[in-house]
Amino acid sequence: MIVIGERINGTRKSIREAIEKKDKEFIKKEIKKQVECGSDYIDLNAGIGKGKEREKEDIKWLIECLYEVGNIPPCIDSSDPDVIDFALSLVKTSDKMINSINGEKEKIEKLLPVIKKYPESKIICLTMDEKGIPSDYKKRVEIAENLIRILNEVGVKNENIFVDCLVEPISVNYENGLIFLNALKEVKKLNVKTTCGLSNVSFGLPDRKLVNKYFLAFCIYEGLDSAIVDPTVPDIREAICVSEMLTGKDEFCMKYIRSKREKCF
Ligand code: THG
């Protein structure tokens, strides 16, 4: 499982405050913690609701913080193609992720020229379009198929395409878990990678960690390749390690046994 550490996100109060105060030590500590807990990529979202120019300035600063910690691949998380373009121009690690493109025509038109500049970059595709997130899982798969075709046409290989079938809160619709899992199962047949922002599933419920942990186990059973999660939470590390062992991804249970010996969770 490819782990994308979710903590550096301007929608979180502590991160927004650190961005506003330009508190480098706080951000670097948050990055370091996530790397120590097994993050392969660090999601960087500088959106604090103060407009595009401010977001550019802030993501530049977050990228500086990241590289002061080490040569860590970023996952550039913005809904604004201009911010993504600017951020990628500052990324020096060859390994990087773009988060994200989706099925909206305007978004595709703006992002394709950017993606062409970085054809080896990994790219997260959200299965939504101008009409929003389809409640029919088959429509999500159709959006994924269309995006895969468009990306292949500009030279992006399937191994660098990460489809996000979009986890929505189970508290809003009791079938949201199943809708995601059904879409994931179909997208897995398209020979691309998959990812998701896990914690949406538990929004509005008590004991979110518990709910996230069980859902992650089901996702891993369906073959989820990567997830945007908080790996500093022991339940998350536990769910990944145990689920991978139980689904044939841990030969001789070596990783599980070592994790238990080293009290990783
Ligand atoms: N898919 C993709 N990218 C994404 C998402 C997704 N990026 C953003 C988000 N969803 C995933 N990242 C986070 C980051 C932080 C939190 C949740 C998801 C988080 N949430 C606290 C909560 O919900 O209670 C906020 C409280 C706080 O700490 O201030 O921490 O789905 N491709």
**C-alpha 232 to ligand 1 mean position (Å):** 14
Q: What's the pLDDT at 38? A: 97
**C-alpha 201 to ligand 1 mean position (Å):** 11
DSSP code of 2?
E
Mean pLDDT score of the chain: 98
Atom of ligand 1 nearest to the CA of 195: 32
180: confidence class by pLDDT, cuts 50, 70, 90 = very high
* pTM more than 0.95: yes
- How confident is the model over 146-166, as a mean pLDDT? 98
**C-alpha 199 to ligand 1 mean position (Å):** 7
Over the stretch 99-142, which tens digit does the pLDDT of each residue have?
A: 999 999 999 999 999 999 999 999 999 999 999 999 999 999 99
Q: What's the pLDDT at 150? A: 98
Which residue reads 């994790």 in tokens? 259
Q: What's the pLDDT at 125? A: 98
- Residue of the CA atom closest to atom 12 of ligand 1: 6
Q: Is 5 helix (H, G, I), strand (E, B) or coil?
A: strand
- Residue of the CA atom closest to atom 25 of ligand 1: 12
For 34-69, b/e burial (b = at least 16 CB within 10 A) is bbebbbbbbbbbbbbeeeeeebbebbebbbebbeeb
171: confidence class by pLDDT, cuts 50, 70, 90 = very high
> Who's near 28: CB < 8 A, 6+ residues apart?
65, 68, 69
Q: What's the pLDDT at 106? A: 96
Over the stretch 20-59, which tens digit does the pLDDT of each residue have?
A: 999 999 999 999 999 999 999 999 999 999 999 999 999 9
Over the stretch 67-82, which tens digit does the pLDDT of each residue have?
A: 999 999 999 999 999 9
C-beta atoms surrounding 172 within 10 Å: 10
Q: Report the first-to-last Cα separation within the chain, whole angstroms.
A: 17
- Residue of the CA atom closest to atom 1 of ligand 1: 197
Structural tokens at position 168:
């929505």
